[in-house]
Structure 1
Amino acid sequence: MATKAFAPAKINLTLHVTGQREDGYHLLDSLVVFADVGDQLKLTSGPGLSMAVQGEYAEGVPSDDRNLVWKAAEATGWSGHIELNKVLPHGAGIGGGSSDAAATLWALSGKGNEVPADLPLSLGADVPVCMAAKATRMQGIGDRLTPVNLPHLPAVLVNPGIPVPTGSVFKALAIRHNPAMPDIVPEFETPKDCAYWLRDQRNDLEIPAMGVAREIEFVLDELWMTSRALMARMSGSGSTCFALYPSMKAAHFAAYEIGAAHPEWWCRATQLN
């Protein structure tokens, strides 16, 4: 029997780069949430290991042992066929590959396959938080996770279709020892309260990412100009940006505005949590 899994988009509401270890790994302090839009996986047990990728963003996604989904399945000893429907753009700062791998591990653990405790982090810094798949404060190299209570956040996600290599963005980062977020993330009653607090936080990769892809700055300007936008920021290392709104009605209207003006962009109204 086939097992289905959902791999939601990961959104970094904040991303403070607080240092760099001697081994090169960057230290982060990030508030991470997940969207109700994402990739779909279908796993069917059988001999050997095989994979097929389809969907809007299938082009360029490997279907062999270069894919994190394959690596995740192989590391658990599972065999069978995996179908991946790519809804999320890649190289987009929304953890597509990491979320796919995390969803694979969850699906396989539900089928009785053992997932070693150190496996998620070994696959990538974002995989452990994607295993949590709920509002989380992620610190260190992605190994320190603290659940946080946030209201559901109406949002619009926009990607201009420009993949941004994470390595290039970190290479362009001028300062690698920046202040962390406040010790305590407050309790927020409304999306507006949360958005206004987030305005005082940062994504330290936003400026260097703009140097790699100037379109990011244009996307952010367009999001800020939508009706009732509370705040806008880039997610992860780019190139996806998001804006928060007081209601889903406002988010859907903003998505309509963006989609009408830029039909070539990937644009989705969503709820983050």
Structure 2
Amino acid sequence: MIREYAPAKVNLYLHVTGRRPDGYHLLDSLAAFGPAADVLEAAPADDLSLTLDGPFGESLAAEPDNLVLRAARALADAAARRPGAALRLTKNLPVASGIGGGSADAAAALRALNRLWNCRLDAARLALLAQPLGADIPVCVESRPRLMQGVGEIMRPAPHLPDVGLLLVNPRVPLATPAVFRARQGDFTPAARLPEAWPDAEAMAAHLRGLRNDLEAPARALCPLISDVISTLAALPGCLLARMSGSGATCFALFPTAETARQAAALLPAEWWSFGGGLYEGGAPSLHPPAGGV
């Protein structure tokens, strides 16, 4: 059996920079990973199957064709082989929550089956395979911090990120990405200018405070609980920055250390989903499970 971790993708900022003639929006965003993750396991089998479990597994049970299965078939087609594998997805991340859970799961499936089937495709080839499946999947293949542009297909090296604590919080309310984009109003935002590195968590948070998530305002209008979550995070001891990730409704807060982020999680309302730890910067998720477990 092969196991792959699928870390949550967090948009530390997200600028909507334009719109293509086909209606897709152009973005500029710094994506980072961790500390929570789904887990995908793959074992040899004659046919392709997917079993769901975990706290959010039921949320996907009604889907007729999970993104994990579509990724598996895409890899099988590229490798000119029959798609046979028994897959198990432990869904620890909330669904439709702005942290790329489905994309991370599909990327984990590509990595796991690439090993199980001995396809020997490198990360660049897997990312290319992932592009037609979803804009966020390519960046999740390596699960390393990246500057994302275009519709997500353009990936550039990210600034070196310092040690920093990250707390993820979701009010357990799903929020559809297309609805958030439709609700967005106003002008477009220029791409950000970032340094090569930040010396510490405080400097990183100070720079990010000058940027924003252009989808936060429309998401707040559609889901007022997001405002409550961000206000609560901003008031936590040691919080350096509180913001929404992606199209929501998951929000995040940055802290000086992973331990202060874990301690802050204990102060949140019990009915909210939360996970605190450190930013995940190691890549190769199968070799380095996220700090704090899953």
The equivalent position to 1:162 in structure 2, one of 161, 164, 173, is 173
**Which of 260, 273, 277 is equivalent to 1:270?**
277
Deviation at 1:65, TM superposition (A): 5.5
Tell me, yes or no, if structure 1 residue 81 matches structure 2 residue 91: no
Amino acid at match of 2:91: K
> 2:248 & 2:132 partners in 1: Cα distance?
22
SS of 1:13 mapped into structure 2: strand
Q: Matches of 2:99 and 2:126 in 1, distance apart?
A: 25
Q: 55-64 or 25-34: which moved more? A: 55-64
Aligned to 1:185: 195
Task: Tell me how far apart the structure 2 counterparts of residues 139 and 66 of structure 1 sit (CA, whole Å).
Answer: 28
Q: Distance in 2 between matches of 1:269 and 1:21?
A: 37
Structure 1: which amino acid aligns with 2:178?
G
CA distance in structure 2 between the aligned counterparts of 1:31 and 1:181, rounded to whole angstroms: 9
* Alpha-carbon distance between aligned partners in 2 of 1:186 and 1:201, rounded to the nearest angstrom: 16
CA contact (8 A) 1:136 1:146 kept: yes
Note the residue ranges of structure 1 that are not aligned, 5 or more in a row.
none
Offset of residue 26 of structure 1: 1.0
CA distance in 1 between partners of 2:259 and 2:70 (Å): 40
Give aligned pairs, total.
Answer: 268
Whole-angstrom CA distance in 2 between matches of 1:270 and 1:249: 6
CA RMSD of aligned residues (A): 1.5
Shift of 1:252: 2.0
Give the Cα–Cα distance (whole angstroms) in 1 for the partners of residues 86 and 266 of structure 2: 38
Q: Distance in 2 between matches of 1:39 and 1:63?
A: 18
Structure 1 runs, 4 residues or longer, greater than 4 Å off: 114-117
The Cα of 1:49 is off from its aligned counterpart by: 1.0
Q: Which residue of 1 aligns with 2:46?
A: 47
In the aligned structure 1, how far is the partner of 2:186 from the partner of 2:102?
Answer: 27
TM-score w.r.t. length of structure 1: 0.94
Task: Tell me if 1:109 matches 2:119.
Answer: no
Which moves more between the two structures, 11-20 or 72-81? 72-81
Contact 1:50–1:64 (8 Å) recurs in 2: no
Match of 1:25 in 2: 24
Q: Quick one: percent identity of the two aligned structures?
A: 42
The C-alpha deviation readout for 1:150-179, integer Å capped at 9, x for no partner, is 113201110000000001000001035222
**Alpha-carbon deviations, 1:185-244, whole Å to 9, x = none?**
341111111011100011000000011100000000000000011011000000000000
**Over residues 114-162 of structure 1, what are the superposed CA-to-partner deviations in whole Å (9 max), with x where a residue is unaligned?**
5666321111110011112011100111111112211132011100000
Instruction: Report SS of the residue matched to 2:41.
Output: strand
Q: TM-score, normalised by structure 2?
A: 0.87
How far has the Cα of 1:60 moved from its partner? 2.1
Secondary structure at the counterpart of residue 114 of structure 2: helix
Tell me the secondary structure at the aligned position of residue 109 of structure 2. Answer: helix
